[in-house]
Amino acid sequence: MKLYIGNLAYNVAEEDVRTMLEEYGSLESFDWITDRYTGKSRGFCFAEMDNSSADKAIKALNGKEFHGRILKINQARQGKKDRRKKRYW
């Protein structure tokens, strides 16, 4: 299951979030989202875990405080493949 981890403090390190999630199971993938121009964290990331581990992580961490912010963790929604509409002039 792919998870959305949001409302992260901008000064949180990627390793801190990985360590927090790995307490509930192994990560299959992890996507740390950064600003294209500054390279700083955008305040959210995505992680993929097996279903039982993901459920445990959601129940344990959603709404908990982490580095001064309240975490929002839930199952990631499937976005549209092509979010940007092509414009033809």
Per-residue pLDDT of the chain (89 residues; tens, 9 = 90+): 999 999 999 999 999 999 999 999 999 999 999 999 998 999 999 999 999 999 999 999 999 999 999 999 999 988 766 556 666 66
pTM for the whole thing? 0.82
What CA–CA distances, in Å, run from 84 to 35, 51, 53, 79? 18, 30, 33, 11
User: Which residue, among 31, 9, 11, has the nearest Cα to 21 in the 3D structure?
Assistant: 31
CA distance 83 to 14: 26
